[in-house]
Chains A and B, each alone.
Chain A
Amino acid sequence: MTSDEADRGLHDRFQALRREAARGTPSFHAMLAPRVAPRPQPTWRRWLVVGALAAVAATVVLTLGRPRPHRATLVDRAAVRWEAPTDFLLRAPGAELLRTIPTFTLNGRLLP
């Protein structure tokens, strides 16, 4: 079977379906006629749901948005001396001479 024949076969099947559907097509004017409106939901039920959702939302907002009491945080600065990993680069040979007071002695005795 060639491709054209196969296409024709499919086309014929679809056209048979089309003829079948056409027999059951409702009238255009009947379709535009207003249908029986669906029963409206009671308003109080909608408001009940809206109220419940609003209450939940308000609770969440109040819970999350409430300012929390401020707690002082004590830090022992002496215990948390921080040292940068590159500090050693700043250490120059003999730098301790610049940070200490030299002592002078005479015959083993410390001069005042």
Chain B
Amino acid sequence: MPPHDLAAQLEQLHAAAFGWALGCCGWDRPVAEDVLQASYLKILEGRARFEERSSFRTWVFGVIRRTAQEARRRAALRRWLPLARLFLGPQEADGRPDPEAALAHAEETARLVGALGRLPPRQRETLHLVFYQDLTIAEAATVLGVTLGTARTHYERGKRALRRLLEERE
């Protein structure tokens, strides 16, 4: 796909991609922006190639998810191996929500974000993809790189856990 077509398709997906990047980065806006920018560059520079094995949207979401994982790993490496800072460059955001930088949420959405933060990552990601991004469970499975059955299990368990957490907080 030519770069200008890629850029046009990415632009159409931009709002959803930013929401997904936020979800992958614990709703930390600066980290999500860095991750999303790195993902766009990967795609536009051809370091990540769309091979049409899934829809363009699920593929882009997969790239963002992997980029967020890489950012978390780099941040963890920096925390545990001080020498790595010399090679990896200056400190980047580490994927943990920074209260100062996090999005200012309304009370209701703040409760949802707080409850999501207490779910296991796979459950949180599955619920985000289904309820926030309106993906099917099969599409969510593709983004997460798991089987449909596994995604369904994360979805059901995640829903139960999220409802319980939201009830606790109400």
Q: Which residues of A contact B (CB under 8 A)?
A: 6-7, 10-11, 13-18, 20-22, 24-26, 28, 31-32, 35, 38-41, 45-46, 49
Contact = CB atoms under 8 A, between A and B. Distances in A.
A101 to B, nearest CB: 81
A16 B11 CA distance: 22
A46 B162 contact: no
Given A20-B106, A21-B19, A25-B18, A14 B112 contact: yes
Given A11-B131, A20-B105, A32 B89 contact: no
Chain B's interface: helix, strand, loop or mixed, by majority?
Answer: helix
Interface stretch (B33-41, B47-55, B69-77, B143-151): B33-41
A26 B33 contact: yes
B14 A14 contact: no
B90 A38 contact: yes
A7 B40 CA distance: 33
Given A10-B162, A39-B90, A41-B89, A17 B109 contact: yes
Contacts of B109: 13, 16-17, 20
A31 B18 CA distance: 10
Contact of B18 (A17, A21, A32, A39): A21
Interface in B84-98: 86-87, 89-90
A14 B131 contact: yes
B103 A31 contact: no
A32 B83 contact: no
Contact of A49 (B10, B33, B36, B83): B83
Can you list the 4 inter-chain pairs with the closest CB atoms, starting with the nearest? A14-B131, A28-B14, A14-B132, A17-B109
B154 interface: no
Nearest to A49: B86
Interface in B5-22: 7, 10-11, 14-15, 18-19, 22
B168 interface: no
B37 A31 contact: yes
A10 B14 contact: no
Contacts of A11: 131
Contacts of B113: 17
Chain B CB within 10 Å — which of A11, A28, A39, A46 has the most? Answer: A28
A54 to B, nearest CB: 14
B18 to A, nearest CB: 5
Contacts of B19: 18, 21-22, 25
A46 B103 CA distance: 37
